[in-house]
Amino acid sequence: MIYTPLTIKALKLSYSLHHGQYDKAGVPYIYHPYHIAELMTSEYSVCAALLHDTVEDTSITLNELSELFPKEVVHAVELLTHEDHVPYTEYIQSIKTDPIAKEVKLADIRHNSDQSRFAGANDISGTKLEQLREKYAAALEMLLAED
């Protein structure tokens, strides 16, 4: 991960906002955005990776983020925030318009596709795992497709 004052601010904020949240395997949620951030190649993509689920899964708003981070980071987080009324395929297509959002989403999909993360988790069925596998495979294909 790239450590700068800005990425450390994003790390601290993400940690604070996701505190007490757990993923489907019962692991503290912060490990997911931290893992994605470790794969990023620029200061802004690290920030976007750390913050990519904050608007969707916590109480912070895009307006609040815009007071703390550059517009490029906030725009990527906005694109990475999947609103319930937006079809998933439309959401994925919009991410392709921004290189930071696309880099983060590719890493996010690859991490979410790693089903070894669910080792020992009893709360997720084989059917649900198969649905997730199909969803992420299709999303990855869309993101990598040349338009």
Residue 25 CA, distance from chain mean position: 17
Q: Judge contact between 10 and 72, C-beta under 8 A.
A: no
Q: Which two tokens stand for residue 93?
A: 């297509």
Instruction: State the catalytic residue, choosing from 38, 43, 53, 57.
Output: 57
- Cβ distance 104 to 43 under 8 Å? no
Among the listed residues 56, 114, 134, 141, the single catalytic one is 56
Active site residue 43: no
26 in helix, strand or coil? coil
Rounded-to-integer distance, Cα 13 and Cα 31, Å: 14
Could you give phi then psi for residue 28, rounded to 5 degrees? -50, 130
Please state, in angstroms and rounded to a whole number, the distance separating the CA atoms of residues 6 and 8.
5
How far is Cα 2 from Cα 38, in angstroms, rounded to an integer? 8
Q: Is 57 labeled as catalytic in the residue annotation? A: yes
Residues with catalytic function: 56-57
